[in-house]
Amino acid sequence: MDLDAITKHSASHAKPDGLILQYGTAGFRTKADRLDHVMFRMGLLAVLRSKQTKSTIGVMVTASHNPEDDNGVKLVDPLGEMLAPSWEEHATHLANAEEQDLARALVAISEEAAVNLHQDAFVVIGRDTRPSSEKLSESVIDGVTVLGGQFHDYGLLTTPQLHYMVCCRNTGGQYGEATIDGYYHKLSTAFVELSKQASCSGDDHRTLKVDCANGIGALKLKEMKHYLPQGLSVQLFNDGTKKLNHFCGADFVKSHQKPPEGIEMKANERCCSFDGDADRIIYYYCDVDGHFHLIDGDKIATLISSFLKELLLEIGESLTVGVVQTAYANGSSTRYLEEVMKVPVYCTKTGVKHLHHKAQEFDLGVYFEANGHGTVLFSKAAEAKIRQLAKELEDKKGKAAKMLENVIDLFNQATGDAISDMLVIEAILALKGLTIQQWDALYTDLPNRQLKVKVADRQVISTTDAERQVVKPPGLQEAINDLVKKYKLSRAFVRPSGTEDVVRVYAEADSQENADSLAYEVSLAVFQQAGGVGERPQP
């Protein structure tokens, strides 16, 4: 390690004095103009991780659902999964080292993680469409090269596409070809094969309006359109001319429970929204009376797991199916999955890294956050079994096994992927002959509300029980319990966000009025007991 060269280069990516950042729910996130040093240092860290794992490591420059002037960075581990927790700690340590301590911090990480510094390193880089992303990805490259790493810059990619590239490269192409064409080819082939089994292909199932949040999803869906069969017509809105995530995108639609701006919705038309880096998807429609209906990640998980269970039943295989959710999952969805579908449901902390990990325990692990971030994982053994059955079985059983095989290829098993999930959902709706209204009617969501509260230091709140109980500050959980008791079918929790400088509040109850009121009262308790700043929460 040429420590002098590193120190010299680091001076042109100097850390602002006193700035402390944490590797949060999905990496580092803050205002773009505070991130140059973090990018350079994550380039350095990616090289160390690559040397240690003898694998290609990914670096994605994005702040996903956050506002346009934010940015962020996250590292992608060898199989396309999120960075290992022990390396998140190294990342935080490295990002916060003062200039004069940087070389020492690097040496300490190398020693602690037993990195063989003579090993080659290879890093792949992707970025979203934010105006700040190109410059920041150059800083990542600066960090990679000063430590002697090789790199490939994919330029503009969705986050899940970068995860896919990493997985392809580290499986010697077994997972797919590590090019953008390879990605489109893999998904579109699986989609075409799966859709061939659909007996009905009426127009009502085949036109989809997509709000692309003015982000990278628009570019990539435009490219992919040429690979999709004519039967599926995808109409793009918010395709990049306006501000990213501004009054549009999956996060806006989910948290405000209303349509995005910039989309023309007619009654009963099937619509969906991606978020800023196209790793989340939310469906919705307006009925003939103009009422908005949201179909979130919970209902997506329900549709997908019921489809998977039907196929397994058809081929007579008793592979285990498990569903993983977070505390944000609507109470009705959990009840429906457990009581009607008889599927085991587990709750983890927020962040796909936690859900992904839990989902790996099943033959078929379905994980979705209510915000529309999720995918399905197939264990190696389950995948091998399904591929073998697809060759051996005939008639109806053979058809079901082949469909499952196509589903394996259609899901991005490295991480939640809006494009891949959209194609899975479109295929299932067509195969089952389901309208969006029939899908929506599977169960009725409990009315709910999400709010944000500004506090001086959100880390004063710590939680347990998959974020459903507050441990600190003392007294806050008791206050929440008392408020929850005032309403029927009610539940509420609070947690510090890992991507924004806010505390998130979630409440559900028997009516929208009560959910709103409970969310407001809990917000007030947070404001009063956890050091609220700025304007008090308003009813």
Report the interface residues with ligand G16, using CB under 6 A.
25-26, 64-65, 275, 279-280, 350-352, 369, 371, 373, 497-500, 504
CB of 498 to ligand G16, least distance (A): 3
Catalytic one of 64, 132, 332, 523: 64
Nearest approach, Cβ of residue 20 and ligand G16 (Å): 18
Output 132 or 350, the one with its CB closest to ligand G16: 350
* Nearer of residues 102 and 418 to ligand G16, judged by Cβ: 418
Hey, which residues does 207 pair with through a beta bridge?
A: 233
Which of 25, 288, 33, 45 has the alpha carbon at shortest distance from 146?
A: 45
Min CB(279)–ligand G16 separation in Å: 5
**Residue 422 or 429 having the CB closest to ligand G16:** 422
Burial class (CB in 10 A: 0-12, 13-18, 19+), 475: exposed
Taking the least distance from each CB to ligand G16, the nearer of 211 and 275 is: 275
* Rounded least distance, CB 250 to ligand G16, Å: 8
What is the chain's length? 539
Is residue 233 within 8 Å of residue 207, measured between CB atoms?
A: yes
Helices (H), 212-348: 216-225, 250-256, 297-315, 331-335
In the annotation, is 64 catalytic?
yes
- One-letter amino acid at 524 equals L
Q: How far is the CB of 493 from ligand G16 (least distance, A)?
A: 12
Name the binding residues.
64, 275, 277, 279, 369-371, 495-499, 504
DSSP string covering 73-105: EEEE-TTS-BPPHHHHHHHHHHHH--GGGHHHH
Q: How far is the CB of 341 from ligand G16 (least distance, A)?
A: 24
Residue 47: both structure tokens together: 């090289």
- Name the minimum Å distance from CB 394 to ligand G16: 42
Structure tokens at 389: 């059955």
Residue closer to ligand G16 (CB basis): 110 or 497: 497
Q: Rounded to the nearest 5°, which phi and psi values hold at 24?
A: -95, -145
User: Which one, 206 or 373, has the nearer CB to ligand G16?
Assistant: 373
H or E element that contains 427: helix 418-432
For residues 325 and 368, the answer to whether their CB atoms sit within 8 Å is: yes
| Residue nearer to ligand G16 on the CB measure, 137 or 350 | 350
User: Residue 467: which residues within 8 A CB-CB, separation 6 or more?
Assistant: 326, 327, 349, 350, 493, 495
The label of the residue with tokens 């990605």 reads 183
Distance separating alpha carbons of residues 317 and 306, to the nearest angstrom: 15
Q: Is residue 282 within 8 Å of 259, Cβ to Cβ?
A: no
Annotated binding residues for substrate, written as ranges, equal 369-371, 495-499, 504
Task: Please count the other Cβ atoms lying within 10 Å of the Cβ belonging to residue 176.
Answer: 18
User: Which of left, alpha, beta for 398 (phi over 0: left; psi -120 to 50: alpha)?
Assistant: alpha
Give the Cα separation of 514 and 9 in Å (integer).
56
Residue 72 C-beta: closest distance to ligand G16, Å: 8
Angle, helices 133-146/36-53, rounded to nearest 10 degrees: 50
State which residue, 402 or 504, has the beta carbon closest to ligand G16: 504
Distance of alpha carbon 267 from alpha carbon 240, whole angstroms: 25
Tokens 């100097």 map to which residue?
Answer: 14
* Spatial CA neighbour of 236 closest among 253, 219, 251: 219
CB of 101 to ligand G16, least distance (A): 29
Residue placing its CB nearer to ligand G16 in the complex, 41 or 280? 280
Other CB atoms within 10 A of residue 360 CB: 14
Residues annotated within the binding site for Mg(2+) are 64, 275, 277, 279
SS3 sequence, 163-199? HHHHHHHHCCCCCCCCCHHHHHHHHHHHHHHHHCCCC
- Catalytic machinery residues: 64
